[in-house]
Amino acid sequence: MAGTDLGNLSDRVAIGRVVGHHGLQGWLKVLSYTEPRESLLDYRPLIIGEVVANEFEGRRHGKGLMIRVAGFDDRTAAEALLGQTIWIRRSQLPEPEPGEYYWSDLEGCRVTNPAGHEFGQVERMMSTGANDVMVVRGDTETLIPFVVGVYVTSVDLERKLIQVDWEPGYL
């Protein structure tokens, strides 16, 4: 059944998005941000938009996932969840290993180089297959590979600051 304790928005981590529906029995297609993608189904509760989903079932479907939330048992009811972000509470995540970071912790960090050039803030992260990339928004958009020890020289989450070995104008 869907609950109502949404918690604090700043304590949430996005782990997916409802991208479509499937059939007439309330099944929803989900784009998972987790790795592996099926681990999205391991979290309880899920917060889908403004709905706390304590009870749901899920399964793999092709290259994606499908879920059906209790109380949204037909296509019409489930359509209310279309396009919604799927969240969990930060407290549901294990602590990262030293030198590992959750993307949500990096977003909003300022990015500078040793010469003092400030590139802006991490707007979002993206995966390219080879490595993760920071999308940094300042005066311009800068893409910087998130490779610790190569391009990323330090990460200070308390100060929300990432130091990089990167020059303005690099492609």
How high is the pLDDT of residue 4? Answer: 52
Name the residue range of residue 122's domain. 103-164
Please give the share of the chain, as a percent, with pLDDT higher than 90: 63
Predicted confidence (pLDDT) at residue 77 exceeds the cutoff of 50: yes
Residue 132 C-beta-side C-alpha neighbours within 13 Å: 17
118 assigned to some structural domain: yes
**Domain shared by 42 and 122, yes or no:** no
| Lowest-pLDDT choice from 31-40, 43-52, 158-167 | 31-40
In whole numbers, what is the pLDDT of the chain averaged over residues? 89
Beta strands per DSSP E along the chain:
2-3, 12-22, 27-32, 46-48, 51-53, 56-61, 64-69, 85-89, 110-112, 118-127, 132-137, 141-145, 152-156, 161-164
Among residues 33, 66, 91, the one where a domain terminates is 91
**Domain shared by 64 and 17, yes or no:** yes
Supply the DSSP string of 73-95, one letter for each residue: -SHHHHGGGTTPEEEEEGGGSPP
Check residues 121 and 93 and name the one with the higher pLDDT: 121
Q: How many domains does the chain have?
A: 2
Token pair 């020059």 in the structure block, residue: 167
What CATH number does the domain containing 155 carry?
2.30.30.240
Tell which residue, 95, 162, 116, 115, has the closest CA to residue 135.
162
Please give the share of the chain, as a percent, with pLDDT higher than 70: 94
50 assigned to some structural domain: yes
pLDDT tens digits, residue range 3-18? 455 555 568 888 999 9
What is the end-to-end Cα distance of the chain in Å, rounded? Answer: 49
**Domain shared by 7 and 87, yes or no:** yes
With vertex at residue 100, the alpha carbon angle to CA 93 and CA 150, rounded to the nearest 5 degrees, is: 160
Q: Which residues pair with 53 in a beta bridge?
A: 2, 46
pLDDT tens digits, residue range 80-120? 999 999 999 989 988 888 888 888 889 999 999 999 999 99
**Domain shared by 113 and 147, yes or no:** yes
Among residues 91, 121, 140, the one where a domain terminates is 91
**Domain shared by 112 and 87, yes or no:** no
97 assigned to some structural domain: no
127 assigned to some structural domain: yes
pLDDT band at 63 (very low <50, low <70, confident <90, very high): confident
Work out the burial of residue 87: count CB atoms within 10 Å of its CB; fewer than 13 is exposed, 13-18 middle, 19 or more buried. buried
pLDDT band at 1 (very low <50, low <70, confident <90, very high): very low
Q: Which residues pair with 95 in a beta bridge?
A: none
171 assigned to some structural domain: no
Mean pLDDT of 76-83: 94
**Domain shared by 10 and 85, yes or no:** yes
Predicted confidence (pLDDT) at residue 134 exceeds the cutoff of 90: yes
Among residues 69, 91, 113, the one where a domain terminates is 91
Residue-wise over 38-69: b if at least 16 C-beta within 10 A, else e?
Answer: eebbebebbbbbebbbeebebeeeeeebbbbb
Tell which residue, 169, 114, 115, has the closest CA to residue 138.
169
What CATH number does the domain containing 66 carry?
2.40.30.60
